[in-house]
Amino acid sequence: MMKVQVILVVCSVFLQNSYGATIQAQPADAKTQILNPNPELTDVTFVSNASIQLVKIDSNTSITYPTDYDDVPLDINDPKADARAIRNALTASKVNTNSIVAALSGKTRAQRLRVAEEYKLLFKAEITKDLKQKLGDHWLTKLVIDLLIPLKEYYVKELHEAMHGAGTNEDTLIEILCTMNNEEIKQIKEIYEKTYKATLKSHIQYETAGDFEELLVALLNADRDESGKVKKKWGTDESTFITILTQSNYEQLKLIFDEYKTLTGHSFEYAIECEFSSFIQRGLLAIVKAAHDLPKYYAERLHSSVAGSGTNNKRLIRIITTRNEIDMDLIKTHYKEDYGITLEDAIADDTSGDYKTLLLELIRENPCRDTNLLGCTFITIRAEEESNP
């Protein structure tokens, strides 16, 4: 087998956007700025004590999430009205799915969770249970229910389902764990253990083996350097290879990839394809693609969901419901550039009914455009003058 050796000179690099801000992970006491994930943002609203700055969002921007939806004030028209509309739609002689789709469209996940809370207060019932009982379309039901689960709990559910039942869905494990930052992984591990009374690591070790197990366990350690600095790195065997890809920050990885191509004449992806096979190969390639351009990676995953015979509806739902508030505009741009068709047209050709309608509503426009950051995914940066080279 071909051995991989990576040599990189020592240097210090911080990712800078066009406004001169350095994008990197934040220590707990750092002064942060919270930004709307909308490159055309013109109206800003102050949140807590954080200051707001206009920043061009690109595919390398760090993204973090509100950890407690109860603490996020929402600019929402009337969650009670939406809750009543859904209740009326479910109790009609024929379930009015159009009303349900309308009530859930154009909202952030946090806003939909408020609707679910109001539903429980008004009708003493769980909205997800009522929807599951009344809706007939399997994929519409899954889509609607998945939209009403807090994001981290949703990821936990997807990971658990990937490892229980008939077989293991390794692609789901790869797609989720190979693209997350340290804090997300730590939160998911904690929620997983509370929910299923077992650690995520123990379930992964039971369901996987070999190099693939080693990769996933390394990712669960949440040891990736998120400083944005580039250091000297060496790789001479499979174990070190995995360590580099699971612990180096994305900017360092990109320089490693460039240096490797200069030294060998072929891409880092080619080295992975030669050195590894099966699920470990898929996992390592996912990390490389995420480091290069995460929205482009998701565009590729969406394309694989609808291309060819059959549709991978679970993956389609998972990516759309988790990225529509973050980088869906960039994903759509990559999709059109790479596959010559809009994501909207691809989904419309492969789905039908209210399921199709709701999917298209979710990707049509980022709901955070009209909410002045409230209830939206946050993007954090650190000012250039606060960074220590």
Question: Residue 373 pLDDT more than 60?
Answer: no
pLDDT at 369: 67
Say what the pLDDT of residue 309 is: 86
Amino acid identity for residue 383 in this structure: A
pLDDT at site 230: 78
The mean pLDDT of 14-22, rounded to a whole number, is 31
Ranking 39-43, 160-164, 272-276 by mean pLDDT, the lowest is 39-43
CB 372 within 8 A of CB 44: yes
Environment class of 372 (CB within 10 Å of its CB; exposed 0-12, middle 13-18, buried 19+): middle
Q: What is the pLDDT of residues 107-119, one digit of tens each?
A: 999 999 999 999 9
Q: Is 122 helix (H, G, I), strand (E, B) or coil?
A: helix
- pLDDT tens string 302-344: 999 999 889 999 999 999 999 999 999 999 999 999 999 999 9
Mean pLDDT computed over every residue of the chain? 80
- Of residues 66 and 209, which shows the higher confidence score? 209
At residue 10, does pLDDT exceed 60? Answer: no
Residue 103 predicted with pLDDT over 80: yes
State the fold for domain 150-180+182-223: Annexin V; domain 1 (1.10.220)
Max alpha carbon distance in the chain (Å)? Answer: 70
CA distances from 180 to 62, 144, 187 (A): 11, 24, 11
Torsion angle (degrees, nearest 10) of CA 83, 84, 85, 90: 90
Nearest to 64 by CA among 276, 316, 380: 380
Q: Tokens 């389902």 identify what position?
A: 161
Helices (H) and strands (E) in the chain — how many of each? 18, 3
Q: Exposed, middle or buried by CB within 10 Å (0-12, 13-18, 19+), for 339?
A: middle
Architecture of the structural domain at 1-13+227-378: Orthogonal Bundle (1.10)
pLDDT over 80 (residue 50): no
Contacts of 133 (CB under 8 A, 6+ apart): none
Q: Closest by alpha carbon to 208, among 173, 181, 175, 160?
A: 173
DSSP 8-state secondary structure symbol assigned to residue 339:
H
Work out the average pLDDT over 120-141.
96
* CA–CA separation, 388 and 384 (whole Å): 9
- The closest of 204, 283, 251, 225 to 60, measured between CA atoms, is 251
296: nearest Cα among 339, 335, 325: 335
Q: How far apart (Å, rounded) are the C-alpha atoms in residues 328 and 320? A: 8
* Higher pLDDT, residue 85 or 235: 85
Q: What is the mean pLDDT of residues 141-153?
A: 97
Residue 22: pLDDT over 70: no
pLDDT at residue 375 in the model: 55
Contact status, residue 236 vs residue 9, Cβ threshold 8 Å:
no
Going by the DSSP 8-state scheme, the letter that residue 229 receives in this structure is -
Q: What is the mean pLDDT of residues 262-283?
A: 93
Start-end of CATH 1.10.220.10 domains in the chain:
1-13+227-378, 79-146, 150-180+182-223
The CATH superfamily holding the domain 79-146 is Annexin (1.10.220.10)
- Top pLDDT among 369 and 243 is at 243
Q: What percent of the chain has pLDDT over 90?
A: 65
- Phi, psi angle pair for 78, to nearest 5°: -165, 90
Residue 165, SS3 per DSSP: coil
Tokens of 233: 């790195």
Model confidence at 238, pLDDT cuts 50, 70, 90, reads: low
Which of 207, 117, 126, 110 is closest to 161 using CA atoms?
207
What integer pLDDT is reported at residue 317 of this predicted model? 98
* Rounded-to-integer distance, Cα 284 and Cα 278, Å: 10
Secondary structure (3-state) at 342: coil
Lowest mean pLDDT among 196-205, 354-363, 380-389: 380-389
